[in-house]
Structure 1
Amino acid sequence: MTSSPWPGAAVRETHVGVVVLVGDRAYKVKKPVRTAFCDFSTPERRHAAITRELELNRRLAPDVYLGAAELTGAGCAEPVLVMRRMPDGRRLSALLAGGADVSDELRQVARAVAAFHAGARRSVVVAAEGGRDALRERWRRNLDELEPYRDAPLPGRSLDTVRRLALRFLDGRGPLFARRADRVVDGHGDLIADDVFCLDDGPRILDCLDFDDRLRYVDGLDDAAFLAMDLERLGAGAAAERFLADYAEFAGDPAPATLAHHYVAYRAGVRAKVACLRWAQNDDPRAADDARTHLALAATHLRRGAPRLALVGGLPGTGKSTVAGELADRTGAVLLSSDRLRKERAGLDPTTSAAAEFGAGLYDPAHTADVYADLLHRAAGLLGLGESVVLDASWTAAGPRARAADVARAADVELVALSCAAPAAVAAERIRTRRGSASDATVAVARRMATVADRWPDAVVVRTDAPLAHSVAQAARVWDEAAG
């Protein structure tokens, strides 16, 4: 007699359902309850819920969700969802807990989710529910529902940070969300590691959100971010980043990193609320820790994902272009250079010389004003699309700096002001020895600029006669601290 590969029968229970595991089958019934989220109080309602759950989950795992049946006897007919039993040891969460390398499995999951989204239902109604206004309303509801838990178990300061940064991001990113309307789909809605099974023939993704259709109508990146958030919560931060990168590759999604951070934060906020509800029901300290962990995760991603406008300035030879480039590389920001833009506007190759006396030729006041106006116009467009921007220019005049501050305010982003400085002799030597630069400044021009430069009291001075790594680290610290 051959023994069964499955463990013995088992029962799993939640606050709204019961799953009975027998052999290679799982049988799920709804409890006759009515909550704020669902109403299963009658057999008819439970039957409708089982039918809907079957229909929705077959989109991703048709060979797992086998059908609906009825448990009959004693004059009753209880609707039952019949499922293929999944091996517990192949849960993504179990594999992570066991220290397995799940890189290949997560890449398969990313491919499966992207393919699902490519064929998922879209409509005007779906797009509206996944747009900026609907997302703001979901944030508002979640944050309001977290307020009763301020100070216990949630730290009030973190709650305030999450509210401020979440709404600020939404306020300034109208163009980004408008552009992504066609990426809003009828998705999964509740993608967590416990419900992903990594089998030899590919992943199975179970248990989508079925009690409120509107909560499944989300940007595909938002849907994927739920799993990324859960992976990070489980201590697999690097795996979470790879998963989102793989998803973006398979989905052909050019979303800015700031949007991914925002969606991860939103999903963490949702789970913080769920943990608070558990804590309120039974005063479980583990639920309190879970709530704080998720809220901290939300705050971290909102800080990382807050778009910024950085002005990296200084006199010629102070290393501003080098620092600006390194800062952009380190933060993923878009780099715009006044020297390059000036040549572009004149139809010149960046390294083609347009050298002139101070305030003459391409460097006369009219050309310079146009270059700064163009820089700021381009920056404003990028900020609205969720990109952070680093502007490499001298910024020696107060007028353009004031207009840059106006752009930052209009886009609801922080302004980072960095003034690069080096001893005059060091700067002069750099000017004399540089090759292949877009800058045309001479030592004489640099000296003349120094005599007319306006004070820049709001800027953080970055010394560039120190090792480059130290200068860039200082600039990065200012950048990181800007989100508060």
Structure 2
Amino acid sequence: MRVATTGSAVPVGAGQGLGAVPGLPATLTETLTSVLIFLGDRVYKIKKTADLGFLDFRTRDARLAACQAEVELNRRLAPDVYLGVADISGPDGTVFDHMVVMRRLPADRRLSALVTAGNDVTGPLRAIARLLADFHARCSTSPEITEAGSAATLRSLWDEVLRSVEPYLGPVLDTTTIDTVRHLAERYVEGREPLLRERQRDGRIRDGHGDLLADDIYCLDDGPRILDCLEFDRRLRVGDVLADVAFLAMDLERLGRADLSRFLLDQYRAYTAVTHPLSLESLYIAYRAFVMCRIACTQYAQGSAAAAAEARALASLALASLRRGRVRLVLVGGTPESGRSALAADLAEAEGWTVLRAESVARELNHLPRTDPDGARDGTHDHTHDHTHDGRRDAADDAVYSELLRRAGTAVERGESVVIDASWARRHDRQRAAALARSTATDLVQLRCAPPEPVLAGRSVAQAGPGFDLSALTGHEYTFHTDPWPEAKTLEHGPTPTDILRAARRATR
């Protein structure tokens, strides 16, 4: 048996480290696609003779091609680990199989082991994020590769992975969970085609790693080594670079460390200096979780009873990520005194969403002062102050809401959730917002802020003037004059300032 290494062929049975090494016991490990033999300071990886649907290694030529591709691809990130491909020969010298030969790395330096042990891995994760940012900048791309980031390709990938788990619905996976995953994934892709096209134009679709897992990353003193690039299916390897790093982010979540997942993604964003919506991270985390769910289902079919629980956990992780990544259009309405502007700002800050203000847009369009003569601080007609529908004022209101919705549409199509702070007193404006949400597959949330009682009373007296009978104001006209708004959830001010914010956050879930 001989090993083909760069520039020469070296006998496997000769050379330093190829026999037993003190402290490194010989072991054998089996994965879904390979058998790994740990011997001395070497690892010998043999592809299984198997057809798993998403790969077919039944012929020796297929296994040889996979071994060669694995070495070539993995040398992009770990050139000193992947030593070459060896022929496996019989006693008569006939070659009957092949294997990848690797340098053995210390198991206790695996990222997964460090995370599980509770070690501080922020330094290694920072180094990994930097390495991946540099790696992705160097990865190849082409018109064919770029197509892998299209909405059509993403739909196809989701459809394929979801159909692959259908035989396991019932015994392993919950049908309702899988149906909801399908609905949310399809809905996100349907409404985000402008975002996906933008990622394609910007060159973010590359031939990356495809299988970034914490088990396959070693945190060494001289930097991380990232192993086990996906070699058997190029379709699963090429794609958005964010989908690549999202695989590791998903795996950190699977290990119970959502905080480290967030840290990794933030570091990657910083090193690439490229902005992207958090919702796109969530989509790719969900997809990677479901790819692993499919693998767990296959392992269950091969006789691993424990794989069923793992498949369910991964499906739940995918569902939670898709729910977290839903794009929302939130209307926050009410009178200026209701505190709606403060609530809109607090909600946007708490969730990391974009806030648009009618007052600001009105000033931009009409050069209005901060408070108009009628007291409507958002620059639109405050129907609480008078009930006339002056044509000029209605036209100004139409312009403000049109611009608000235009900006909101641009944002939600690019995966950003938006909070719009305006009175939303007219049914017509709310209907336009609902139409925008439908056309962009965006969740519409409608919130109406009720004014605090002391504000109501003080405002009414001030308007009425001395000697006015406050009891003459009753019901709807007294509290808030608006077109009926049954779709809105009315938020009352609680004993503490944060009560209404908590209620608003619950309403957007």
Structure 1 residues 34 and 167, CA gap change in structure 2 (3 angstroms): closer
Could you say which residue in structure 1 is the equivalent of 2:373?
356
Please name the residue that 1:26 is paired with. Answer: 43
1:306 maps to which residue?
A: 326
CA contact (8 A) 1:354 1:362 kept: no
Q: What one-letter code is carried by the residue in structure 2 that aligns with 1:239? A: L
Which protein, 1 or 2, shows the higher relative CO under an 8 Å CA cutoff with sep ≥ 6?
Answer: 1
**Could you tell me whether the CA contact under 8 Å between 1:64 and 1:83 is conserved in 2?**
yes
Q: Is the 8 A contact 2:380 2:400 kept in 1?
A: no
SS of structure 1 residue aligned to 2:112: helix
Query: Displacement, 1:44?
Result: 3.0
Asked if the contact 1:121–1:186 (Cα under 8 Å) also holds between the matched residues in 2, the reply is: yes
Q: 1:362 to 1:20 in 2, by over 3 A?
A: closer
- Matched position secondary structure for 2:276: coil
Partner SS for 1:82: strand
Shift of 1:269: 1.2
Report what 1:206 is aligned to. 227
Counterpart secondary structure, 1:21:
strand
Residue 290 of structure 2 corresponds to 269
Sort the Cα spacing of 1:80 and 1:475 in 2 relative to 1 into closer, same or farther, 3 A.
same
Query: Does residue 230 of the first structure (1) align with residue 251 of the second (2)?
Result: yes
Counting only pairs closer than 5 Å after superposition, residues 3-18 of structure 1 correspond to structure 2 as: 4=21, 6-18=23-35
The partner residue of 1:146 within 162, 165, 176 is: 165
Distance 1:7 1:358, change over 3 A: closer
1:249-288 equivalences under 5 Å are 249-282=270-303, 284-288=304-308
Seen in structure 2, the aligned counterparts of structure 1 residues 309 and 15 have a Cα distance that, compared at 3 Å, is: closer
Aligned to 1:59: 76
Task: Pick the aligned partner of 2:195 from 176, 200, 205.
Answer: 176
Q: Spell out, residue by residue over 1:15-53, the C-alpha distance to the aligned partner (whole angstroms, 9 max, x if none).
A: 432222222111222233444233333433322221111
Q: Deviations over 1:269-290 (max 9, x none)?
A: 11111111222221x4421110
State the Cα RMSD in Å.
Answer: 2.4
| Aligned pair partner of 2:139 in 120, 125, 131 | 120
- The aligned residue for residue 177 of structure 2 is 158
CA drift at 1:159:
1.2
Select the residue among 330, 343, 349 that pairs with 1:323: 343
Aligned residue identity for 1:24? D
1:450 CA drift (Å)? 6.3
- State the alpha-carbon separation in 1 of the partners of residues 405 and 350 from structure 2: 22
2:437 maps to 1:408: yes
User: Displacement of 1:13 after TM fit?
Assistant: 2.4
- For 1:384 and 1:263, the matched residues in 2 are separated by 17
2-side partners of 1:343 and 1:431: how far apart? 27
The residue type paired with residue 240 of structure 2 is D
**What amino acid is aligned across from residue 263 of structure 1 in structure 2?**
Y
Shift of 1:292: 0.9
Following superposition, the deviation at residue 147 of structure 1 comes to: 2.1
Distance 1:332 1:432 in 2: 39
Q: Which residue matches 1:97?
A: 116
Deviations 1:217-242 (A, max 9, x none): 11011011111111111111110111
Alignment length, in residue pairs?
462
Deviation at 1:425, TM superposition (A): 3.6
Per-residue deviation at 1:208?
0.8
- Contact kept? 1:358, 1:448, Cα under 8 Å: no
Report SS of the residue matched to 1:404.
helix
| Conserved 8 A contact 1:165-1:302 | yes
The letter for the 1-side match of 2:192 is R
| Distance in 1 (alpha carbons) for counterparts of 2:480 and 2:161 | 55
Q: Deviations over 1:59-93 (max 9, x none)?
A: 11111111223233413223232211111111111
Q: What does residue 475 of structure 1 align with?
A: 504
Structure 1: which 5+ residue stretches go unaligned? 434-446
Identity percentage of aligned residues = 43
The alpha carbon displacement at 1:365 in A equals 1.6
Work out the CA distance in 1 between the residues paired with 2:425 and 2:461.
21
1:427 and 1:123, CA in 2 relative to 1: closer, same or farther beyond 3 A? Answer: farther
In the superposition, the TM-score normalised over structure 1's length comes to 0.90
The residue identity in structure 1 corresponding to 2:27 is: A
Whole-angstrom distance in 2 between the partners of 1:59 and 1:301 = 30
